[in-house]
Amino acid sequence: MARSKVDGVVEAVRYLPEGQIEVVRVYERRGPTWSDRILLTRQQLIDRLKSGQTYVIGQRMKLLGGTFETGPAVRLSGPADRPVLVTDQNNSDRDDLRGVPVI
């Protein structure tokens, strides 16, 4: 069975007081390997999703390098002029990445 292509794994999120995402901590695929932890702003993540990249929530497994426990995909919802970041599990009118630890 072939694995689906994942461009990044969202490990943690920070929300603004009004409920909008400020930054996310991710690992990004770099060819056959993965990056170190990097921070992406909300707009950077939206731009990557609009360009067709696939991000999922998850976490790196200890002592196993590029192996991750992954969950649902992060997707855009809502109107095009005010996109909302959500997981496959929910439909919300504000950013909601359920299952991702808050930093």
Give yes or no for residue 8 having a pLDDT over 50: yes
Q: Can you tell me the mean pLDDT for 71-88?
A: 91
Give yes or no for residue 1 having a pLDDT over 60: no
List, in sequence order, the alpha helices (H) in the chain: 42-50
Determine the pLDDT at residue 2: 41
Q: Is 16 in contact with 95 (CB distance < 8 Å)?
A: no
The more confidently predicted of residues 49 and 32 is 49
**pTM of this structure:** 0.90
Determine the pLDDT at residue 89: 67
What distances in angstroms separate CA 22 from CA 12, 46, 64, one per listed residue?
11, 12, 29
